[in-house]
Amino acid sequence: MDPVLVSGMRPTGKLHIGHIFGTLSNWVNYQDKYNCYFIVVNWHALTTNYENTKDISSNVIEVLTDYLAFGLDPLKSTIYLQSMVEEVSVLHLILSMITPISWLERVPSFKDQIQQLGKNIATYGFLGYPVLMASDILIFNGKYVPVGQDQIPHLELAREIARRFNFLYGDTFVEPEPILTETPYIPGFDGRKMSKSYNNAIFIDESEEETEEKVKRYITDPQKIYKHSPGRPEICNVFTLHKAFKNSEIREIEQNCRSGKLGCVECKKKLSNLINSYLKPIREKRRDLQKDRNKLLEILIEGSKRAKKVAKEKIEEVNQKVNIGLLRGV
């Protein structure tokens, strides 16, 4: 049996081009190497979106469609909906009983996200979401988890929780290991990191015209005032995206920007064409998939059934270890 790999995304909105690098593109390759569990983590969506949940269900379908359009294969991988595997929530509850609050408070993203998104997200659920993440991984004996460098503290916490449980109750969980993914910085059109939360993203399912309009809004080198002014591509968000999409003309673009031969308007047009060309086959596959909503639901239900079968066995083991399983002979 191949080692287990676990990863997922929150259905807090449609996926954007920032999700391509380090995530979707790598997931497709992992399918042939690992026993993969790819989750649509809708409980996690509540940690920052509990005040407005009306779009979560539709976003689940959007995220699933993106998974499939990029090449995730339900015959190779287990693709499932987090809330359809209730055993994960049971494990989350049990693990929360043994996880010190101090461990959760030291996770860097806790204070960072509160600062970015406001104190309304400073809830019990948001503080404890790393425990829920650990449950997602440990319940399937996840050996590998693909993460960026900024997510290492979350995975280390999952490892600590696994060690603590194993120490208290005996060997039960595999300690997950990171697969470090090189995820290039993908800026949004306002200059901050591209994020659904910041409303600065180019979404995968957008039209070519919408993509072009958003690229036009990108902030470039503020010192390149005129078309023929020399530019500094190393600080330009548009050039950053050219590199991320591995533009074959990258050296020419860099040289012409520095020399003043290439203006920002033309450079943005090149980027729009590059992004639209890359996404064209994916967008076409998305449209085909969306024609049969029942098929999409069937894929999600069948994947969730497979995941639930594995999770049920693990939660029965956990219940026995902590002596809260079915009482026998009493």
Q: Mean per-residue pLDDT for 65-76? A: 96
Q: Is 144 helix (H, G, I), strand (E, B) or coil?
A: strand
User: 208-287: CATH homologous superfamily?
Assistant: Tyrosyl-Transfer RNA Synthetase (1.10.240.10)
* The pTM of the whole model exceeds 0.85: yes
> What are the pLDDT digits (tens) for 4-55?
999 999 998 889 999 998 799 999 999 999 999 999 999 999 988 888 899 9
> What are the pLDDT digits (tens) for 173-230?
999 999 987 777 899 999 998 987 788 999 999 999 999 999 999 999 999 988 899 9
User: 4-186+293-321: CATH homologous superfamily?
Assistant: HUPs (3.40.50.620)
Q: Count H helices, E strands: the chain?
A: 14, 5
What residue ranges do the domains of the chain occupy?
Answer: 4-186+293-321, 208-287
Sequential DSSP letters for 207-256: -HHHHHHHHHT----TT--STTS---GGG-HHHHHHHHTT-TTHHHHHHH
